[in-house]
Amino acid sequence: MEIEPSVVFTIPLFGGIPVTMTVVVEWIIMAVLIIASLIVTKGWKLVPEGTQTVVEVAIDSFNKFVENSLGNHWKEYAPYLGTVALFLIVANTIGIFGFPPPTKDLSTTSALAIMSITTVIIASIRARGIKGFAKSFFKSPIDFFIQMLDLFTRPLSLAARLFGNILAATTIMELISKAVPIVVPAVFSLYFDLFDGFLQMLVFVFLTMLYIEEAIE
């Protein structure tokens, strides 16, 4: 088993840009999500029926979930959180279809964590202004170091948690399917691929939301 993703092909530009398996699977997920959203939202009516009802209920319940924490500000952050949630749920559970999950690469999870912490900083600046944001660092002399540490440990812990969970799940699934190739992997796949993937998505989105909530208060 190797931890580094394999290079699929190289783009012959600027002396060759290696494209890893992670990036290819991410492109596949992005294409699936974009095409699915185009198909699903085609020909919507005022009175919903069929798939439109399902999609509207799903989006509504997610908006309610965000509104519970963020209050009146939910409209600004719900789209970002929803997009991350959609991407993560597909990325974490794509192991069922035989693709390596892109979230088992530390680069993917670090990128998502940096995006999240950037959103938190922007939310803080929008809520309190640049002066207020700077002031929040200088409440007391010790507070400055703790706040600075927070700025680095939060994304680190977000990235390491997602990466560790998915890597552990794929490793255990690989070991199981090597030991017992039939029936048993299917049962364990229900927990490790579906339930764990969903739970980790929920934890990532929930923690990001919590940090935003803390920043805009």
Partner 1 sequence: MDLLAIGAAIAALTGIGAGIGIGLATGKAVEAVSRQPEAGGRIMQLLLLGGALAEATAIYGLLVSIMLIIFKP
Backbone φ, ψ for residue 44 (5° rounding): -80, 150
Residue with tokens 């965000």: 66
Partnered with residue 20 across adjacent β-strands are: 7
Q: Does 176 bind partner 1 (CB under 8 A)?
A: no
Instruction: Give, as ranges, the residues between 76 and 135 that touch partner 1 (CB under 8 A).
Output: none
- For residue 190, the 8-state DSSP code is I
The binder of partner 1 chosen from 6, 41, 51, 68 (CB under 8 A):
68
Q: Among 37, 51, 83, 157, which residue interacts with partner 1 (rule: CB under 8 A)?
A: 157
* Under 8 Å between Cβ of 92 and 200: yes
Contacting residue, 63, 107, 110, 171, with partner 1 by CB under 8 A? 171
If the CB atoms of residues 69 and 107 are measured against partner 1, the closer one turns out to be 69
Q: Which of 165, 170, 189, 208 binds partner 1 (CB under 8 A)?
A: 165
Q: Least distance to partner 1 from the beta carbon of 171, Å?
A: 7
Binder to partner 1 among 120, 167, 212, 215 (CB under 8 A)?
167
Phi, psi (rounded to 5 degrees) for 12:
-80, 60
Give yes or no for residue 203 binding partner 1 (CB under 8 A): yes
Closest CA to 40 of 62, 21, 57, 65: 57
The residue range among 10-18, 42-50, 91-99, 164-172 that interacts with partner 1, by the rule CB under 8 A, is 164-172
Give the other-Cβ count within 10 Å of 212's Cβ.
Answer: 25
Q: Considering only residues 136, 161, 177, 216, which one is a binding residue for partner 1 as defined by CB under 8 A?
A: 161
